[in-house]
Amino acid sequence: MEILKNISEKLVIGKADEVVDLINEALGNGLKADAILNDGLLDGMAIIGKRFKEGSAYIPEVLIAARAMNRGLEILDPLLAEEGAEPRGTLLIGTVQGDLHDIGKNLVSILFRGAGFNIIDLGSNVAPAVFIAKTKECSPDIIGLSALLTTTMIKMGSTIKALRESSITTPVIVGGAPLTQDFADSIGADIFASSASDGVEKVIALMVD
């Protein structure tokens, strides 16, 4: 449908006000909130995510598109709740204890939200006990651990250990500039993400399996 295509296109270029106007028009024409979300907003985020992965779009463009998506979701979220629409899954994410960096984590959250996930963002400098408590409270489908420093990436291992000792078996995805697949394997992570878009693809594949 043309209006949904227009929503997608305006989101890709970050035209938040126009996205809002088009969503209101679509709702006025009787379109359901979940159709607008899936075939408008999420299609647009899929395009910007693909461009980011290919290197033809950069972090500022992703952030601008995400801002447009969030403006749209302010309208759609209450309607989606009324319709009983279910997210693809829930990601619980945080930067591990001792690390205050959050740009990478935020980018991951944006792309997962754009892929249809509900996001529970614990912020940065998150202690293992907080991950454990929030996991028990919210039962996420995946737990994301982020670190940008070689001095704090070891906290990923202690966090995973604490989760498992608390009988939490939720899959854990790890990512961050200093990480490698070998390190992820050594700490018992279920998924290593070399980039935000790589993480989205691997989590979706895991959930499909």
> What are the boundaries of each domain within the chain?
2-83, 89-208
| H helical segments located in the chain | 2-12, 16-28, 33-36, 42-54, 59-83, 103-114, 128-138, 154-165, 181-186, 196-208
- What is the chain's pLDDT, residue by residue, as a tens digit (209 residues)? 899 999 999 999 999 999 999 999 999 999 999 999 989 999 999 899 889 888 999 989 999 999 999 999 999 989 988 888 788 899 999 999 999 998 889 989 999 988 889 999 999 999 999 999 999 999 999 999 999 999 999 999 999 999 999 999 999 999 998 999 999 999 999 999 998 889 999 999 998 76
For 89-208, CATH number out of 3.40.50.720, 3.40.50.280, 3.40.50.2300, 3.30.70.1450 equals 3.40.50.280
Residue 183: its pLDDT value, please? 97
Residues making up the chain, counted from first to last: 209
pLDDT of residue 121: 97
- pTM for this prediction: 0.83
Query: pLDDT value at position 82?
Result: 84
Q: Give Cα separations from 58 to 104, 178, 193 (angstroms).
A: 13, 20, 18
Residue located via tokens 């449908």 = 1
For residue 37, give every residue at least 6 positions away whose Cβ sits within 8 Å of its Cβ, in sequence order, or none: 73, 76, 80, 85, 116
Measured between alpha carbons, how far is 97 from 191 in angstroms, rounded to an integer? Answer: 20
pLDDT at position 83 is 81
Q: What does the pLDDT read at residue 1?
A: 86
Q: Are 160 and 188 in contact (CB under 8 A)?
A: yes
Strand arrangement, sheet containing 117-121: 117-121, 89-95, 142-146, 172-175, 191-193
What pLDDT shows up at residue 84? 80
Side chain identity at residue 193, one-letter code = A
CATH number of 2-83: 1.10.1240.10
